Chain A
Amino acid sequence: MERYYQPEIECASPEKLKQIQNEKLVKQVRHVWDNVPYYRKKMEEKGLTPDDIQSTDDLYKLPFLSKADLRDAYPYGLLGVPLKDCVRIQSTSGTTGKRVVAFYTQHDVDLWEECCARAITAAGGTDESVCQVSYGYGLFTGGPGLNGGSHKVGCLTIPTSSGNTDRQIMFIMDLSATILCCTPSYAAYLGERFKELGYGPDDIPLKAGIFGAEAWSEEMRHDIEKTLGIKAYDIYGLTELSGPGVAFECSAQQGMHINEDHFIAEIIDPDTLEVLPEGSQGELVFTSLDKEAFPLLRYRTRDICTLTREKCSCGRTHVRMGKPKGRSDDMLIIRGVNVFPSQIETVLINAGYAANYQIIVDRINNTDTLDVQVEMTPEMFTDNLGEIADRQKELVDGLRSMLGLKAKVTLVAPKTITRSEGKAVRVIDKRKI
Chain B
Amino acid sequence: MSIKQISVFLENKPSTLKQMTGVLAAHGIDMRALSLAETKDFGIARVIVDDVYEAVNVLKEADFVANLTSVLAIAIPDVPGGLDKLLEVFAETNLNIEYMYAFIGGKEEKKAYMIFRVRDHRAAEAKLVSKGLKVLSQEDMQEI
Chains A and B are bound partners: yes
Least CB distance from A388 to B in Å reads 8
Task: List residues of B (41-70) whose CB comes within 8 Å of A's CBs.
Answer: 41-42, 44, 46, 63-67, 69
| Cβ distance B128 to chain A, nearest Cβ, rounded Å | 20
Q: Does B142 contact A (CB under 8 A)?
A: no
- Using a Cβ–Cβ cut-off of 8 Å, how many residues does chain B contribute to the interface with A? 20
- Identify A383's interface contact among B11, B39, B44, CB under 8 A: B44
Q: A290 CB to closest chain B CB, in angstroms?
A: 48
Question: With the chains together, A381 CA to B65 CA distance in Å?
Answer: 7
- Residues A383 and B63 in contact in the complex (CB < 8 Å), given A376-B9, A413-B10: no
Residues of B within 8 A of A381 (CB): 7, 9, 65-67
Is there an interface contact between B67 and A413, defined as CB atoms closer than 8 Å? no
Question: Would you call B39 and A413 a contact (CB within 8 A)?
Answer: no
Residues of A near B41 (CB, < 8 A) are 410-411
B42 touches A411 (CB 8 A): yes
A160 at interface by CB-CB < 8 Å: no
Q: Is the CB of B65 within 8 A of A383?
A: no
Tell me the bound Cα distance from A381 to B45 in angstroms: 12
Most chain A Cβ neighbours within 10 Å, of B11, B37, B42, B67: B42
Q: Which residues of B contact A388 (CB under 8 A)?
A: 42, 44
Question: What residue of chain A has the Cβ atom nearest to residue B41's Cβ?
Answer: A410
Contact B7 A382 (CB under 8 A): yes
The yes or no answer to A385 lying at the interface (CB within 8 A) is: yes
With an 8 A cutoff between CB atoms, is A47 at the interface? Answer: no
Docked-complex contact B7 and A383, CB < 8 angstroms: yes
**In residues 364-390 of chain A, which contact B (Cβ within 8 Å)?**
376-378, 381-385, 388-389
Residues of B within 8 A of A7 (CB): none
User: B69 contacts A378, CB within 8 Å?
Assistant: no
A388–B65 Cα gap in the complex (Å)?
Answer: 13
| A377 CA to B65 CA, complexed, in Å | 7
CA–CA, A385 and B117, complex, Å: 13
Q: Shortest CB–CB separation between residue B32 and chain A, in angstroms? A: 16
The contact string, 1 if C-beta is below 8 Å from chain B, for chain A 396-433, is 00000000000000111111100000000000000000
B-side contacts of A382, CB under 8 Å: 7, 67, 69
Q: Is A383 within 8 A of B10, CB to CB?
A: no
Is A383 a contact partner of B42 (Cβ separation < 8 A)?
no
Q: Which residue on A lies nearest to B98, using beta carbons? A: A384
How distant is A409 from chain B, measured CB to nearest CB, in Å?
9
| Most chain B Cβ neighbours within 10 Å, of A382, A410, A413 | A413
Closest to B7 in A: A383
Chain A: minimal CB distance from B121 (Å): 12
Known: A383-B46, A389-B39. A413 touches B63 (CB 8 A): yes
Find chain A residues with CB under 8 A from B63 CB.
Answer: 413-415
A415 to B16, CA, bound (A): 14
Residue from B5, B7, B65 having most chain A Cβ neighbours under 10 A: B65
In the bound complex, how far is the Cα of B46 from the Cα of A416, in angstroms? 22
Does the CB pair B65–A413 fall under 8 Å?
Answer: yes
Cα distance A416–B15 when bound, in Å? Answer: 14
B67 pairs with A414, CB closer than 8 A: no
B10 CB, min distance to chain A CBs, angstroms: 7
Closest to B119 in A: A384
> B16 near A413 (CB under 8 angstroms)?
yes
Minimum CB distance partner of B43 in chain A: A385
Contact of A412 with B11 in the complex, beta carbons under 8 Å: yes
Please indicate the chain B residues that have their CB under 8 angstroms from the CB of A385 in the complex. Answer: 37, 39, 44
Q: Which residue of A lies closest to B46 (CB)?
A: A383
CB distance from B77 to the nearest CB of A (A): 28
> Which residues from A are CB-within-8-Å of B117?
383
Q: Residues of B contacting A413 with CB < 8 Å?
A: 9-11, 16, 63-65
Distance to closest chain B CB from A395 (angstroms): 13
Please measure, in the bound complex, the distance between the C-alpha atom of A389 and the C-alpha atom of B67, giving whole angstroms: 17
| Complex alpha-carbon distance, A385 and B5, angstroms | 15
Whole-angstrom distance between the alpha carbons of A381 and B7 in the complex?
A: 9
A227 to chain B, nearest CB (A): 19
**Cβ contact of A414, chosen from B46, B64, B98, cutoff 8 A:** B64
State how many angstroms separate the Cβ of B83 from the closest Cβ of chain A: 22
Chain A: minimal CB distance from B95 (Å): 17
A378 pairs with B65, CB closer than 8 A? yes
Interface residues of B in 103-138 (CB under 8 A from A): 117
Q: Are B5 and A383 in contact, with the CB atoms below 8 A?
A: yes
Known pairs A385-B37, A413-B65; list 20 more (Cβ under 8 Å): A376-B9, A376-B42, A378-B67, A381-B7, A381-B65, A382-B7, A382-B67, A383-B5, A383-B7, A383-B44, A383-B46, A383-B69, A383-B117, A388-B44, A410-B41, A412-B42, A413-B10, A413-B11, A413-B63, A413-B64
A contact set with B: CB distance below 8 Å: 376-378, 381-385, 388-389, 410-416
Task: List 5 tightest A-B contacts by C-beta distance, closest first.
Answer: A383-B7, A383-B69, A381-B65, A376-B65, A376-B9
